[in-house]
Amino acid sequence: MYSRREFLKGAFIGGISLTLFKKDALAIISKASKNIPKNISPEKLSANEDFWNSVQSAFEVDRTFINLNNGGVSPSPSIVLNNQKDYIDFTNRLPAYNLWRYLEPNVETVRARLAKSFGCLKSEVAITRNTSEAMEIIQNGIDLKPGDEVLTTIQDYPRMLATFDQRARREGITVNKISFPVPLKNFNVLVNRLEKAITPKTKLLLVSHVVYLTGQILPVREISRMAHEKGVLVLCDGAHSFNHFPFKLKDLECDFFGTSLHKWTHAPVGTGFLYVRKGLIEKVWPLMGAPKKLDKSIKKFEQIGTHPAAAHNAVAEALAFNEKLGLERKIARLRYLNLRWINRVKSYKNVSFSVNVEDPSQWGALVGVNIKGVDVRKLADYLFKRHKILVLPIRHKAFRGIRVSPSIYTQISEIDYFADVLEKVVNNEIKSVLK
Ligand SMILES: Cc1ncc(COP(=O)(O)O)c(C=O)c1O
């Protein structure tokens, strides 16, 4: 049997020794923080390139590309990746023991840290592999009779809409999807439309915290309060919000929340969590069967069989990284990066955005831009093939344009390069992207 000391000793010989030579993200942030004035505001710090150059060095990314699709999935800081690799090596030495007896129980540390960070009880947090799994546990696990209604929006994530549509085909529930304006200048428009769409048969309301198409942050707490007054439960899709900007459960007041930690938490690919309000756990069936004794336990949602502990255990390191950096600083920098290219093109008449760019409190790392007369797919292809800039083309009823999402490791020179190219497109200098 391994003691912790022996584990560490073995790991040093086998793999963790490598980590020591790689960059320690926490030390990097500590060092950078010592060089900035005390009490500097996050907004002021957002323009301090010395500080952010240090943060950038915590990541080892492929800088032959300019990655402006960090909303899809994020790279991890080297320390997180190395942690995960070390856990994989350690698992492999004696899997049936090292995985189940040593690594898996340590998921409890991750659960406790997630609960603290989200502002809920440990017993309300299930570790999942992504947002999809977290959301589908609720979407498929709540009892609904034929004729019962669920309410959502056309701007919610396609997989989540497909999940409800499948229940409609299979069990005869009704799925009601409302639309709302882009940009959403007035939150009341959305809240009122949802309220009007609630009927006595509505049981569950699904709403995104950040809309994947546009980067719009939605007023989840107002929606939850309105829905709760009508006896409707609220499921919040937080794929893009957790560790993107600071908030807690009390700011949302939802009943269920699902997120992916491989997006804005920079944790390993294949990590996420689900929050379920205490009294509701027993009302939700897990996706994979669990014994009766787990009916009231959050762990019934984790009965997925053998899986890598390496990914979810390395979440602890990613959470430490976010804490050390500070979410106020993170969101201020992300807005700063986006405003830098937005300001270059916003005065052009042929340019429109997916969000109200004059009110950065409504968005963060994700912003969509559309240029009149330009084909979105051709533009994304041109940016990638000609300039190695990765963006997401969006062609949706609610919004067409490219979605731009830099990250904390993005350099100012990369944003400026993108802005130079975009300005040429806006000025109609690039004929190949025209419709
Ligand atoms: C709003 C939203 N929900 C759910 C998902 C699914 O996330 P995952 O693929 O990590 O499960 C995404 C992915 O981008 C998303 O944007």
Which CATH number belongs to the domain containing residue 273 in this structure? 3.40.640.10
Within 13 A of 247's CA, how many CA atoms are on the CB side? 22
pLDDT of amino acid 37: 86
- Alpha-carbon distance of 102 to 90, in angstroms, equals 10
Instruction: Return the H-helix or E-strand segment holding 125.
Output: strand 125-128
Q: How far is the CA of 136 from the centre of ligand 1 (A)?
A: 11
pLDDT of amino acid 38: 84
pLDDT of amino acid 33: 84
> Mutate which of 70, 156, 157, 399 to test ligand 1's pocket (most atoms within 8 Å of Cβ)?
157
> Mutate which of 132, 241, 396 to test ligand 1's pocket (most atoms within 8 Å of Cβ)?
132
Q: Is residue 132 part of a domain?
A: yes
- Alpha-carbon distance of 111 to 118, in angstroms, equals 10
How many residues in total does the chain contain? 435
Q: Is residue 245 part of a domain?
A: yes
Average pLDDT value for the chain: 94
In ligand 1, which atom is closest to the CA atom of 131?
11
Q: Is residue 380 part of a domain?
A: no
Q: Is residue 294 part of a domain?
A: yes
Instruction: Return the H-helix or E-strand segment holding 265.
Output: none
Both structure tokens of 46: 């957002």
Encode pLDDT of 382-404 as tens digits.
999 999 999 999 999 999 999 99
pLDDT band (50, 70, 90) for residue 14? very low
Q: Which domain range does residue 288 map to?
A: 102-319
Both structure tokens of 179: 């639309």
Q: How far is the CA of 113 from the centre of ligand 1 (A)?
A: 22
Q: What's the domain count of the chain?
A: 1
- Alpha-carbon distance of 150 to 203, in angstroms, equals 6
Give mean pLDDT, residues 350-373: 98
Give mean pLDDT, residues 305-313: 98
pLDDT of amino acid 35: 84
Which amino acid, one-letter code, is at 6? E
Helix ranges restricted to H, 287-356: 309-313, 315-325, 327-345
Strand 272-276 and strand 125-128: the pairing is antiparallel
In ligand 1, which atom is closest to the CA atom of 156?
1
Between 266 and 39, name the one with better pLDDT. Answer: 266
Q: By alpha-carbon position, which residue is closest to atom 16 of ligand 1?
A: 212
Backbone dihedral region for residue 297 (phi beyond 0: left; psi -120 to 50: alpha; all else: beta):
beta
Give mean pLDDT, residues 260-282: 98
Q: Is residue 53 part of a domain?
A: no
pLDDT band (50, 70, 90) for residue 427? very high
Verdict on whether the full-model pTM lies above 0.75: yes
Q: How far is the CA of 240 from the centre of ligand 1 (A)?
A: 8
In ligand 1, which atom is closest to the CA atom of 263?
10
Q: Which residues contact 358 (CB under 8 A, 6 or more apart)?
A: none
In ligand 1, which atom is closest to the CA atom of 72?
14
> Ligand 1: residues within 6 Å at CB?
130-132, 157, 159-160, 208, 212, 237, 239-240, 260
pLDDT at 28 over 90: no
Q: How far is the CA of 61 from the centre of ligand 1 (A)?
A: 22
Q: Is residue 348 part of a domain?
A: no
Q: How far is the CA of 425 from the centre of ligand 1 (A)?
A: 30
Q: How far is the CA of 317 from the centre of ligand 1 (A)?
A: 22
- Alpha-carbon distance of 216 to 317, in angstroms, equals 29
Q: How far is the CA of 375 from the centre of ligand 1 (A)?
A: 25
pLDDT band (50, 70, 90) for residue 29? confident
Encode pLDDT of 108-128 as tens digits.
999 999 999 999 999 999 999
Q: Is residue 377 part of a domain?
A: no
Q: Is residue 190 part of a domain?
A: yes
In ligand 1, which atom is closest to the CA atom of 262?
10
Please, which residues bridge with residue 125 across strands? 275
Encode pLDDT of 45-77 as tens digits.
999 999 999 999 999 999 999 999 999 999 999
- Smallest Cα–Cα separation from 347: which of 423, 290, 281? 423
pLDDT of amino acid 23: 62
> Mutate which of 70, 127, 129, 159 to test ligand 1's pocket (most atoms within 8 Å of Cβ)?
159
Please, which residues bridge with residue 178 across strands? 153
In ligand 1, which atom is closest to the CA atom of 133?
11
Q: Tell me the DSSP string of 9-66.
A: HHHIIIIIHHHHHS--HHHHHHHHHHTS-TT--HHHHTT-HHHHHHHHTT----TTSE
Give mean pLDDT, residues 305-334: 98
- Alpha-carbon distance of 126 to 120, in angstroms, equals 12
Please state, for a pLDDT cut of 90, what percent of the chain lies above it: 91
Cβ distance 333 to 46 under 8 Å? yes
Q: Which residues contact 186 (CB under 8 A, 6 or more apart)?
A: none
Strand 149-153 and strand 174-178: the pairing is parallel
pLDDT at 6 over 50: no
- Smallest Cα–Cα separation from 433: which of 398, 386, 368, 395? 386
Q: How far is the CA of 9 from the centre of ligand 1 (A)?
A: 39
Q: How far is the CA of 214 from the centre of ligand 1 (A)?
A: 13
